[in-house]
């Protein structure tokens, strides 16, 4: 038997965790998308329409940034890399999960701070270069309730947690991480983004020629270190984002 096949059998003996949400026509999405931007499972060929053959075919219409999705540099950066330019090896990475869920319970506008990274490294060791760092907030538990995902107040200001520029610069420039991910719709905390007048943290990540995964699920089922993340999506050339199937294999 191939040693690779043996490795696969060994991996299948581990726990595998789904990190992406199921998608339906009414799944939560950014309110700025125009009407009709999403149309899932529209019948193109129905049963019995092709003589002598029984099958059904759907068409799918969606925006690239829908549900759990990959954001590529070209999403915010002119001439940035599109999603399809990331190779398959780029999409399989060691996974580090920084848990700030308890702090988010106390403050839904919480932004991951350098002190959170310092506490993490003191407990689990230095974050390795080339890894994927995910921020666990347990925000995924609000899915699929769009109002609970955005938590807009009476003024229309949304509220959800996010990263800070300092932490992202440290992870990318000092630790050399390959990608980041989170459970809310955006990299930036909503209040922080409003104060800055820009989605500055997301813009920074993509400007570094990195990708990110947004609207992740089940990070509470993944240990802080030791897991491997896999990211898969249709290879539509020039796409700057795409709904993604993301999963992790956990260590013993």
Closest CA to 235 of 84, 107, 21: 84
**Residues 104, 110, 116: CA angle, nearest 5 degrees:** 85
Closest CA to 178 of 135, 215, 219, 208: 208
In this predicted structure, the answer to whether residue 148 has a pLDDT above a threshold of 70 is yes
pLDDT for 176: 98
Q: What's the mean pLDDT in 109-114?
A: 98
Percent of the chain beyond pLDDT 90?
95
Q: Contact 160/107 with Cβ under 8 angstroms?
A: no
Could you count the other beta carbons within 10 Å of the beta carbon of residue 51? 5
Q: Residue written as tokens 């019948």?
A: 43
Q: Residue written as tokens 């029984």?
A: 54
Mean pLDDT of the chain: 96
Q: What is the DSSP letter of 89?
A: G
pLDDT in tens, 233-242: 999 999 999 9
pLDDT in tens, 14-71: 999 999 999 999 999 988 899 999 999 999 999 989 888 899 999 999 999 999 999 9
Which domains does the chain possess? Answer: 13-22+65-249 (3.50.30.50)
- In the chain, how many H helices and how many E strands? 7, 11
**Which strands sit side by side in the sheet containing 227-232, from one edge to the other?**
16-18, 245-249, 227-232, 92-99, 132-136, 179-182, 211-214, 69-71, 241-243
Tokens of 12: 């299948």
Q: Contact 161/150 with Cβ under 8 angstroms?
A: no
d(CA 21, CA 140): 9
pLDDT in tens, 154-188: 999 999 999 999 999 999 999 999 999 999 999 99
Q: How confident is the model at residue 1 (pLDDT cuts 50, 70, 90)?
A: low
Q: What's the mean pLDDT in 180-202?
A: 95
d(CA 192, CA 204): 14
Q: Which helix (H) or strand (E) holds 204?
A: helix 200-207
Output phi, psi for 85, to 5 deg: -80, -10
What's this model's pTM, rounded to 2 decimal places? 0.96
pLDDT for 128: 98
pLDDT for 198: 92
pLDDT for 252: 81
pLDDT for 2: 82
Closest CA to 226 of 100, 128, 105, 117: 128
Q: How confident is the model at residue 110 (pLDDT cuts 50, 70, 90)?
A: very high
Q: Contact 72/86 with Cβ under 8 angstroms?
A: yes
In this predicted structure, the answer to whether residue 245 has a pLDDT above a threshold of 70 is yes
Q: What's the mean pLDDT in 76-104?
A: 97
In this predicted structure, the answer to whether residue 129 has a pLDDT above a threshold of 90 is yes
């Amino acid at each position: 038997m191939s040693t690779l096949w043996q490795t696969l059998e060994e991996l299948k003996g581990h726990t595998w965790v789904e990190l992406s949400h199921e998608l339906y026509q009414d799944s939560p999405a950014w309110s700025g998308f125009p009407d009709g931007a999403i149309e899932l499972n529209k019948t193109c060929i129905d049963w019995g329409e092709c003589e002598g053959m029984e099958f059904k075919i759907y068409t799918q219409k969606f925006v690239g940034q829908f549900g759990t999705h990959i954001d590529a540099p070209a999403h915010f950066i002119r001439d940035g890399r599109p999603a399809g330019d990331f190779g398959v090896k780029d999409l399989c990475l060691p996974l580090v999960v920084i848990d700030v869920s308890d702090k988010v319970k106390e403050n839904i506008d919480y932004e991951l701070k350098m002190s959170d990274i310092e506490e993490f490294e003191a407990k689990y060791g230095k974050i390795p270069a080339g890894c994927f760092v995910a921020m666990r907030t347990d925000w995924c538990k609000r899915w699929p309730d769009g109002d609970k995902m955005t938590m807009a107040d009476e003024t229309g200001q949304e509220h959800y947690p996010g990263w800070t520029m300092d932490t992202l610069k440290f992870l990318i420039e000092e630790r050399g991480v390959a990608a980041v991910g989170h459970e809310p719709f955006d990299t930036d905390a909503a209040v922080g983004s409003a104060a800055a007048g820009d989605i500055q943290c997301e813009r920074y990540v993509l400007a570094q020629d990195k990708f990110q995964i947004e609207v992740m699920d089940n990070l509470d089922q993944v240990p802080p270190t030791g897991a491997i993340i896999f990211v898969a999506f249709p290879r539509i050339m020039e796409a700057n984002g795409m709904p993604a199937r993301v999963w992790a294999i956990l260590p013993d």
